[in-house]
Structure 1
Amino acid sequence: MIEILNADELRRARAAGGLVAEILSTLRARCAVGTNLLEIDRWAKDMIVEAGAQSCYVDYAPSFGRGPFGHYICTSVNDAVLHGLPHDYALADGDLVSLDLAVSLGGIAADSALSFVVGESRPAGSVALIETTERALAAGIAAAGPGGRLGDISHAIGSVLSGAGYPVNTEFGGHGIGSTMHQEPHVPNTGRPGRGYRLRPGLLLALEPWVMADTDELVTAEDGWTLRSATGCRTAHSEHTIAITDDGAEVLTLASR
């Protein structure tokens, strides 16, 4: 199902996006050496509940996971890149952390992710991984506009990722979003311009470039959820929810909103 949102739904989407951005910004500021992943999950829960919103993850039970997810945020560390299940682990100096959060507010969902390094250490390649996903996300947003094609976005993202020398996995990528967290269309992180679904005002997309340093192969951890790099290399993940408008693309999950 592909949803096209009306003006009232877009207003609610902006509110949901602003909440996601606020929570992620707060969590990033709180994360430090010694912070436990379960603390992060509790903080996310408290802020979601206080805002009168609903978690898109706690009851999430897709076919590929060992569901329901049972937590309020994805916390992926170092070689974990997607669907990181919060567990009893205290962050160490130099850990590369990705936080992925989706909430529904007023019946509309928003989804965003960010990656950062904890503490003072900067292990080799970690900052480059993060910056590459952020540049790819910016390129994808710049390529999104009414009348364009989905392949334009995928091509822009993939050009940055592969241009930086990283392999690109197309099994998981961006997606449509609206009254539910995951909808059609799927937005691969590489593709051919001028191909695919034609973008229309009112369409919401969650764009999420992610990379692994030296592989495009994922493995599932024993928890049944966390996806890790097959080689144990480090990973990074950046994501924003955008709305296609008459003039281009509006980013709904910016912390400055």
Structure 2
Amino acid sequence: AETDIVVIKNQTPEQLKESIDVIKAKLAESQILMFPGGFSAGDEPDGSGKFMATLFRNPYLAEGLENLLYKQDGLVLGICNGFQALIKLGLLPGGHIETLTADHPTLTYNTIGRHLSRMVNTKVISTKSPWMSDAKAGEIYTVPISHGEGRFIASPQQVLEFNKTGQIATQYVDFDGIASMDSRFNPNQSVAAIEGIYSPDGRVFGKMAHSERCGAGVSRNIPGQLEMPIFTSGVKYFK
């Protein structure tokens, strides 16, 4: 895959308009859009997901994003702050940018009340997505988390619906591979131990753990499978 990193410049109205024009043009010629994590935009306010979501509610970018997904056969990925952006846009869980309601699923502060940085075990629950075509249900990957607002919240009825539609992508699990509410395995206390979810058609994927933090020399002293095949799966979709 050829990646093109776009820096959003917003120190002046002119810079912001220029950034919007650049993103709009690149959306029209791209196949994948990824919203990054890693304390992008300084993680303020309330996590940079709020800023990214506000930006993409711009009519030009909203139209470009919908076209990418449903006219250009594209995919969207969000990790950590990027997951927050997808939730706040309404792209998750529904698959389209929409106005949020009071009962919309959300990501909020960890119950411990502070930032968490550690490894977690995440289990693939559903492969109903191009992003997981190279993975198998039941596989467990050991992935780093680093966030202060990573607790996924949804109503019992919504969780049941996600389960029926195959939208629960990954869960935090214990050493036996069982979804857990134990803080040792589900540190932020996400409801139903949910770590990642898809849109109904699987084109949009949001997850909290940093699957992009992998590669030669990374986490060499950590046992388990470290590289979840998200990126290889996404690229293969277009081959």
TM-score calculated relative to the size of structure 2: 0.33
Higher relative contact order (CA 8 A, sep 6+): 1
Structure with the larger helix share: 2
TM-score calculated relative to the size of structure 1: 0.31
Structure with the larger strand share: 1
